[in-house]
Each structure stands twice: as C-alpha cells, then as structure tokens.
Amino acid sequence: MRKVVSCQLSVVRALLLFLLITNCLLFSVCYAQPVSSTELIENPQAYDGKEIIYEGEVIGELMQRRQGVWVNISDGDNAIGVWMRLQQAGMINYKGSYKTKGDILRIEGMFHLACPDHGGDLDIHANSVQEIASGWKIQEKIIPAKRTLLIILIVILCLILILRISINR
C-alpha cells in the first residue's frame, strides 16, 4: 500500500514539474498584443490607468508644447492622441497626409479615459516609442484616360462658351 501511495506521489510531483516548466516556457514566448483604437473607445474603463500597447500611423501635424508633443496615431479605424517627450517625437520622419504615408509606430504607455493632466481628454502617455516601419512620399499617378477626358471636356466647354457669346450678339 505504501508503495502505491509513494508511486502516486512521484507521478503527481512529475506532473507538477512538467506543468511548471511548460508554464515558464509559454510565458517566455508570449508577447503583449496591441490594443485597437476601437477596443479603447468602446471599452475604455477596462484600460483606464493601465499600461497598453498601441500601433498605428502618425497622421497630421505634431503639436509641440513646452513639456512634450501631441501626436495623432491612427490604426486605420480611429486616431488617438498620444502625449510623448520631445526626444521620442524626434524620431518621426513622415507624417501621414495626402502626399505622404506616415511612420508606423508602436507606443507603449499609460491609457487615460479622462486624463487629469490634459483637460479630461482620452489619451495615451507614451513611455516608449518604437518605429515599426518608415513612411514615404506618395507618388501621384496621372491616368492618361482621365487627362484625355479632361481636355475633351475643356474643348467642349470652350465651344459652348463661344457659341453662347456669338448668339447673344
């Protein structure tokens, strides 16, 4: 009887050791996933005052203040204001607009539903900023068919204008 109990204890110990090792290995390869802007906007209480990761494109102008810089980051669905230090904003080369694709950044920082430092606005205070991909200038492509159509319409408009002026005289 004692041999059976001792054998069962050995199996339980081995199983616990296996689970402990497996758990440690799984935690070492798990990384935090970015939170989407939709999730932050629809479920802000769940993230208020917590460290989060947010990824997206820098859009619009950087709004520099004395203590830092406001940067709008869009993940494709919505944009969220991110407050960062001047040194962190210095790494931004491209800001998204009609003529450029903005840098893609990974922001790790504190999410605020109603930031006490910035008038109660929803924002993220960046602790670390990492560039995932660099932006670029967008090359405009003129479609030949549209250019030809434009020329034809301008000629027709000029002919109508000339015809109207000659009729009114």
Tokens of 120: 């109660």
Report the predicted TM-score, pTM, of the whole model to 2 decimal places.
0.68
pLDDT band at 81, cuts 50/70/90? very high
pLDDT digit string (tens) for 33-73? 899 999 999 999 999 999 999 999 999 999 999 889 999 99
Domains of the chain by residue range? 1-30, 37-137
Contact between 70 and 62 (Cβ < 8 Å): yes
- Bridge pairing between strands 100-101 and 123-133: unpaired
Q: Does residue 97 have a pLDDT over 60?
A: yes
The answer to whether the beta carbons of residues 89 and 73 sit under 8 Å apart is: no
Rounded to an integer, what distance in angstroms lies between the CA atom of residue 139 and that of residue 153?
A: 26
Whether residue 101 contacts residue 135, with contact meaning beta carbons closer than 8 Å, is answered with yes
Alpha carbon 149 to its chain's center: 39
Q: What is the CATH number of domain 37-137?
A: 2.40.50.140
